[in-house]
Amino acid sequence: MPSPEMPSESADTHRDIIEHAVEALEAGKTVIYPTETVYGLGADSRRPEAVSRVFEQKNRDPNNPLSVALPSVSAVESVAEPTDRAHDCMQTFLPGPVTVITEVNDTIASAVTANQARVGIRIPDHELSLKFLRAAAPIPVTATSANLSGAQSAHTISAIDKRLRRSTEVIIDDGVTGGAESTVVDPDKNIIYRKGANAEAVIDWLTRVTGSAPTVT
């Protein structure tokens, strides 16, 4: 086992690939990165041209908004203005496989939210993903599955469409990722837009906090 002063070969590899990934974000390019659910496609969400690249690579409808990945709840106010309830929801479930929708500020490109006033916040419960997001800070990274729109989300790099892989500047490969996609919740509206991982816990929390069961769309 390597000593704390001597990083393992894997640690060196991860550090190098993360450095390259951050450089790609700074250049307006895209990165495939792991999470505890599925692989994601990241770009600098502040840069309209970088966000457009994500939509183009995924062949995604521009009216279908993206979420934003951050390294911690304390970083959320750099892109959003969460209410007390939204903040409590984030404190309860993040990091974790939950996307919390809240009020956006003017930091990120309008294309991220499809010109809407709200944005999904994602803080993965995944060590390598968080290392990447911390290294990228203060860049808020787009959070969307690394797949062509309508295709199945990928748990391995080999499962990602070759065209998407070839058009991405850097790929952070961490083997097989965890499980179901994140649950998407707007705590202020008491709505769950997608039931995924931890859905029942989110439903129980909302029911207790609001006094009524959430609407599930």
Whether residue 102 is contained in a domain is answered as yes
Reading the block at residue 194, the tokens are 């997608």
Q: What is the pLDDT of residues 66-108, one digit of tens each?
A: 999 999 999 999 999 999 999 999 999 999 999 999 999 999 9
116, pLDDT greater than 50: yes
Instruction: Tell me how many domains the chain contains.
Output: 1
* E strands present in 55-214: 67-69, 98-103, 118-122, 141-143, 170-171, 183-186, 191-194
Please state the φ and ψ torsions of residue 72, each to the nearest 5 degrees. Answer: -165, 160
Amino acid at 110: S
174, pLDDT greater than 90: yes
| Exposure string for 107-141, b = 16+ CB within 10 A, e = fewer | bbbebbbeeeeebbbbbbbbebbbbbbeebeebbb
Q: What is the pLDDT of residues 23-65, one digit of tens each?
A: 999 999 999 999 999 999 999 999 999 999 999 999 999 999 9
Domain extent for 114: 10-177
Q: What is the pLDDT of residues 129-152, one digit of tens each?
A: 999 999 999 999 999 999 999 999
Confidence of residue 2 (pLDDT cuts 50, 70, 90): very low
Whether residue 54 is contained in a domain is answered as yes
Cα distance between residue 194 and residue 33, in whole Å: 22
Note the pLDDT of residue 10.
Answer: 59
The mean per-residue pLDDT over the stretch 5-19 comes to 69
Cα distance between residue 119 and residue 116, in whole Å: 8
CATH number of 90's domain: 3.90.870.10
Q: What is the pLDDT of residues 181-191, one digit of tens each?
A: 999 999 999 99
The mean per-residue pLDDT over the stretch 114-119 comes to 98
Residue scoring higher pLDDT (4 or 165): 165
Whether residue 58 is contained in a domain is answered as yes
Amino acid at 123: I
Whether residue 184 is contained in a domain is answered as no
Residue scoring higher pLDDT (142 or 3): 142
| Residues in a beta bridge with 44 | 141
162, pLDDT greater than 80: yes
Note the pLDDT of residue 155.
Answer: 97
Inter-CA distances, 178 with 39, 66, 94, 141, 209, Å: 10, 21, 16, 20, 29
Note the pLDDT of residue 13.
Answer: 76
Whether residue 170 is contained in a domain is answered as yes
Q: What is the pTM of this model?
A: 0.92
Whether residue 203 is contained in a domain is answered as no
Whether residue 163 is contained in a domain is answered as yes
Whether residue 118 is contained in a domain is answered as yes
With contact defined as beta carbons under 8 Å apart, do 54 and 107 qualify? no
Confidence of residue 5 (pLDDT cuts 50, 70, 90): very low
